[in-house]
């Protein structure tokens, strides 16, 4: 039996109320006001960092050596050439003898990756494949899309052992239906008329995939505890399920008013929410959307109870801060070209050969642990840093990214350039030993205290636009409730 063996999710801590956006630019398009709020990635977050965060949630308690594949689905790859899945795999400290792929250019790519991972574990060519889906799309300032798109990620582990929800069947339809598009040179999405998208796109493809699956496996809507699918239009979302014969209670919430439409991650995030409430024996029907639709039929097992320790959707939904300002949102997304000052313009070239050599240290946050005295240390050392030891070449690799820490000291620096000043950083002492200086984020200076617990979060360290470099490293954040 193959299927989902673990799940995880990530929603950035910031939300922006759609009224905040409307207050800034509603005068351009008075009819554009939509209800609720949407999730906003911090200035140092993107599809890659959110994918890593969801994968960490998913891999809670999972031995990373056991993973032999990573598929990443997104339409917002920070790199068009340089495999984004490879960055994620290195950040997760997965071993190199694995297969990695990017699934992209359609928001249906999340379910595409999920089905491919399922096929891989079913065929036996891989034992445990992790699928991460995330998106961080941009709508042009003042348009509907800007209010619609939210940021987030979901991750699933697929395998044959400890299956919490088996995949019992799939059904796909694929069409070159150009409702949303973004050419290679575009920063923002473009769309065709929304009534057409609603009726001829969402209204037809999700129904076609679900009906096809029900027919193929001889099922009826009444067989399912939950049905999961996205829709841009709140009222139309309910209508699609109703028309197919589902009761309102069977339809999993779309989260559109809480976080917005998270693109490739959207369907999978809704699925995580469904699994959080699922009971052994439940059947779940999933259908994605985007240039057609993929439908999956899942059967929840007794093992589901073992996968509850996740921040998941519920944890992340509950933990939020209001960004409060449209100008801050556009600064974070590099829409507003702010004056960084001379200091902010100083970016040295990035030595990619150094990054390659030290990839475990930089992207994987791996240090070393002395075999002789047991002292963990970062960065990895050849000679033990413990003055009472000093052993030479007796080190094992030691991963810090999954260790909690305590904030030993900190500051909020107004002189250092930051898109969200002050630049907050401090010294972190890790549980079990080892310490280092880290940038901190997702927190206000006033909320910090010496000794408070922190955890590590993979973030974009800088974006060197002139050289096409998104550089990544780890930051510390207060432990998210």
Residue ranges that bind other proteins, judged by CB under 8 A: 341-343, 346-348, 351, 354-355, 358, 361-362, 375, 377-379, 381, 385-387, 408-418, 422-423, 425-427, 429, 433-439, 445, 450-451, 461-462, 471, 473
Count CB-CB contacts under 10 A for residue 314: 14
Continuous H helices in 245-337:
266-277, 312-318, 326-332
- Which residue, 305 or 382, is less far from other proteins as judged by CB? 382
- Which residue, 263 or 412, is less far from other proteins as judged by CB? 412
Distances (CA, A) of 425 to 3, 332, 435: 42, 19, 13
- Which residue, 216 or 382, is less far from other proteins as judged by CB? 382
Q: How far is the CB of 132 from other proteins (least distance, A)?
A: 23
Cβ(163)–Cβ(2) below 8 Å = yes
Cβ(463)–Cβ(448) below 8 Å = no
- Which residue, 183 or 348, is less far from other proteins as judged by CB? 348
Distances (CA, A) of 49 to 102, 154, 171, 435, 437: 15, 12, 31, 23, 20
- Which residue, 24 or 471, is less far from other proteins as judged by CB? 471
Q: How far is the CB of 358 from other proteins (least distance, A)?
A: 6
Q: How far is the CB of 425 from other proteins (least distance, A)?
A: 4
In the three-class reduction of DSSP (H, G, I as helix; E, B as strand; rest coil), residue 132 is classed as: strand
Distances (CA, A) of 406 to 13, 165, 479: 20, 37, 10
Q: How far is the CB of 455 from other proteins (least distance, A)?
A: 16
DSSP bridge partners of 163: none
Q: How far is the CB of 477 from other proteins (least distance, A)?
A: 13
Q: How far is the CB of 80 from other proteins (least distance, A)?
A: 22
Structure tokens at 338: 């702010």
Q: What are phi and psi of 374, to 5 degrees?
A: 80, 10
- Which residue, 399 or 435, is less far from other proteins as judged by CB? 435
Closest to 3 in 3D by CA, of 166, 234, 195: 166
Q: How far apart are CA 246 and CA 251, in angstroms?
A: 7
- Which residue, 412 or 478, is less far from other proteins as judged by CB? 412
Q: How far apart are CA 118 and CA 115, in angstroms?
A: 5
* b/e map 153-166, b = 16+ CB within 10 Å: bbbbbbbbebbbbb
Q: How far is the CB of 91 from other proteins (least distance, A)?
A: 13
DSSP annotation of 68: -
Sequential DSSP letters for 150-209:
--EEEEEEEESSS-SEEEEEEEEEE----SEE--TT-SS-EE--HHHIIIIIIHHHHHHH
Cβ(8)–Cβ(167) below 8 Å = no
Q: How far apart are CA 261 and CA 230, in angstroms?
A: 8
Q: What are phi and psi of 203, to 5 degrees?
A: -65, -30
Q: How far is the CB of 450 from other proteins (least distance, A)?
A: 4
- Which residue, 122 or 331, is less far from other proteins as judged by CB? 331
Q: How far is the CB of 74 from other proteins (least distance, A)?
A: 24
Q: How far apart are CA 287 and CA 268, in angstroms?
A: 9
Q: How far is the CB of 292 from other proteins (least distance, A)?
A: 41
Count CB-CB contacts under 10 A for residue 142: 17
Q: How far is the CB of 395 from other proteins (least distance, A)?
A: 12
- Which residue, 117 or 440, is less far from other proteins as judged by CB? 440
- Sign of the Cα pseudo-torsion (47, 49, 52, 58, in order): negative
- Which residue, 27 or 356, is less far from other proteins as judged by CB? 356
- Which residue, 351 or 397, is less far from other proteins as judged by CB? 351
């Amino acid at each position: 039996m193959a299927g989902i063996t673990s799940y995880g999710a990530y929603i950035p801590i910031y939300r922006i109320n759609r009224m905040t956006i409307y207050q800034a630019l509603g005068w351009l398009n008075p009819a554009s006001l939509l209800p609720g709020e949407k999730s906003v990635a911090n200035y140092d977050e993107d599809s890659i960092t959110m994918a890593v965060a969801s994968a960490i949630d998913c891999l809670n308690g999972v031995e990373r050596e056991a993973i032999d594949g990573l598929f990443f689905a997104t339409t917002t790859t920070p790199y068009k050439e340089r495999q984004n899945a490879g960055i994620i795999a290195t950040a997760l400290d997965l071993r190199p003898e694995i297969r990695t792929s990017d699934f992209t250019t359609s928001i249906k790519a999340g379910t595409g990756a999920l089905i491919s991972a399922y096929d891989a574990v079913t065929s036996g060519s891989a034992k445990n494949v992790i699928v991460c889906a995330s998106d961080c799309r941009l709508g042009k300032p003042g348009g509907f899309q800007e209010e619609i798109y939210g940021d987030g990620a979901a991750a699933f582990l697929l395998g044959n052992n400890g299956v919490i929800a088996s995949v019992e069947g799939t059904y796909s339809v694929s069409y070159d239906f150009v409702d949303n598009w973004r050419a290679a040179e575009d920063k923002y999405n473009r769309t065709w008329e929304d009534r057409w998208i609603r009726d001829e796109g969402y209204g037809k493809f999700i129904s076609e995939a679900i009906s096809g699956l029900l027919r193929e496996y001889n099922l009826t809507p009444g067989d399912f505890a939950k049905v999961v699918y996205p829709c841009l239009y709140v009222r139309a979302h309910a209508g699609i399920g109703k028309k197919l014969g589902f009761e309102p209670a069977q339809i999993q919430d779309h989260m559109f008013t809480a976080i917005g439409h998270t693109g490739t991650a959207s369907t999978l995030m809704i699925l995580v929410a469904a699994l959080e409430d699922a009971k052994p024996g439940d059947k779940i029907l999933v259908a994605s959307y985007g240039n057609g639709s993929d439908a999956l039929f899942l059967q929840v097992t007794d093992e589901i109870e073992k996968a509850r320790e996740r921040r998941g959707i519920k944890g992340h939904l509950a933990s939020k801060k209001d960004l409060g300002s449209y100008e801050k949102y556009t600064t974070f997304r590099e829409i507003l070209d702010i004056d960084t000052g001379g200091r902010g313009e100083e970016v040295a070239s990035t030595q990619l050969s150094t990054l390659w050599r030290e990839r475990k240290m930089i992207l994987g946050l791996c240090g070393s642990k002395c075999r002789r005295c047991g002292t963990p240390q970062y960065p990895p050392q050849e000679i033990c840093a413990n003055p009472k030891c000093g052993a030479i070449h007796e080190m094992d690799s030691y991963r810090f990214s999954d260790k909690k820490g305590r904030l030993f000291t900190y500051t909020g620096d107004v002189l250092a350039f930051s898109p969200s000043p002050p630049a907050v950083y401090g010294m972190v002492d890790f549980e079990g030993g080892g310490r280092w200086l880290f940038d901190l984020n997702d927190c206000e200076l006033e909320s910090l205290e010496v000794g408070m617990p922190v955890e590590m979060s993979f973030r974009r360290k800088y974006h060197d636009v002139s050289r096409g470099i998104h550089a990544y490293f780890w930051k510390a954040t207060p432990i998210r409730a």
